[in-house]
Structure 1
């Protein structure tokens, strides 16, 4: 829980600085106290007034403000928070941190703080990939600085690649992770299988059938379960995500490969099927690239049904997990379709969500779920996928405790 926590936010220069305002808003919604330091270059993109309007606090800018030094001082400012967050962290500011420079208020506070620091880098792809920046990053990580992102995408400069700052929802999840690391491990020793991501079903050596699943929800679940002590095996289709630390990661491509990996992971105490598995595949994929004929004739493809992984794992037998949880990604009649799916598949719980394009669920960082079990439908409010993963993991832990 981050309610009641205190964050010192450092906003440095860069076009991504405007996203710091959204982060402040999200933190304040959760009753987090936020104080902010705005660097000189940061104030070229957002104003002290806009930051103060959202934090409800004075925004600190000048290292040599006598009033600020009298009332609080940079030493006190550096230590009156639970976590220091730098959003965005520019290449220049990362260099200052790595070198231990203290030539403005923000760098002085970071040098004087006794609290942990989380940074969200943001810069041009060439600047991010430069050996100097990577060396500075290695230095900061070695010193214990926590890093979120950067992601890959289109940039304001027109280039594309790594260096795009993580979205406010992702940074918020990282902050929640920092304060939510459990001291106890209620799922210690619980063997857990999690599936995630899409599957790719080959048409020929260069084409395949797939879907828009990013794998974010499944990866978040694997991480949350591992944090509660579970022994996690994550079976994932192709994604751009890095596997969570501490899990047994198995990379697959097709639905048949995913089923084989899941069966090899049995027996397990819990199975959580969050993957978006393709329902169909081509009966006989071409061994060569399918070529156009006369530019008019479309190829005729014969499809067969893929194995039903959730239904297979839900079948009664000696290897059936004690708790099997599925996902139902729907575009209409969300809860009705999910209730029917739970009955057909034979699983214990279903988590239903609306993946219509307008929701932004596929590839996004937030989810609105409905947990469906034998007792009915339990709606969850919209939250980050990391928060949803933690909520699910806690519910699993409570369920196992009640049924021990």
Structure 2
């Protein structure tokens, strides 16, 4: 009797369903970021991911949306709040906090099924951060900083020493935190907010975003492309060139050397040497970028106005699709990866034959990686390729040992190979 292989039988069906019913349209770019088309009326201000698959985004008109499959589909949440939400923060898989207009604090403890809303007045709270399950901070208009030690049941106003508008905050531990804001404002606490001191960079600007890697090393940026770095907790600042003169909205570092920033008009810059140099990429979008967030070292998201959403699954690195032969193959073919088993990288070769209708001179080719239950975890290729033989590398550093599937598709052609990652 022939042995029944469950995954070999069910996996093609899983892939068919994924390709047939995905709600988000995805287009890919050679710069390592692919665009996810969502509702263009969504003006997103903030996002937060607890893992590469699960995250929330929030924005204007009380918008809160959630994904559990890496942005392929989004479900709209229904908080009883219809004003702008500026900042969102995950504590764990179930508990999420948000800050918005009217000094508002929103909270869910059931992963977004229901939300509670507490309002403290008529001005916006634009930044939120929790250092543990009970201790959190809000910051916003008129220099307002508030602290809770009971998970948001009650809040105490702190003396920030400033009367300006705060935009963003970042805590590196339970006592040390930083806040940036309008009119050349950067403040710091080292005792859980009991005292705040001003530590502004030497050049005047509105500082929209702040990110600290540790208590000493951090970055602040904002209007007119102003970007500064400190390596001593804000005592001294060094100006850097982000390769953009547009308003910088968000910074994120995945380690001490590699970081990203996004600015208005679709500007994205990356550094791999701690900000000594930055390289700019302009992504194809009509909406301003508002937030960049990485769930791990390879999977990151950019979100913004007019339904703007981009994703990378390779750390924002240019896709190295290497043509290894220009001869027209007799057929489409996906070769077995090598090495296999592998750790942590493997090369995948594929052949593109005479294009199938309706693509004419070149077919739209996709090469994607799925896990054993059919979840898409990485897109290696999604573009028009001329006939020839190509090779691409997949780095699985951030994925656990196990069986994965590589799927090549173009027109009516599809083929699958099994990959084994052993760590």
Tell me if both proteins adopt one fold, taking TM over 0.5 as the criterion.
no
TM-score normalised according to structure 2 size: 0.28
The structure with the greater share of residues assigned to strand is 2
The structure with the greater share of residues assigned to helix is 1
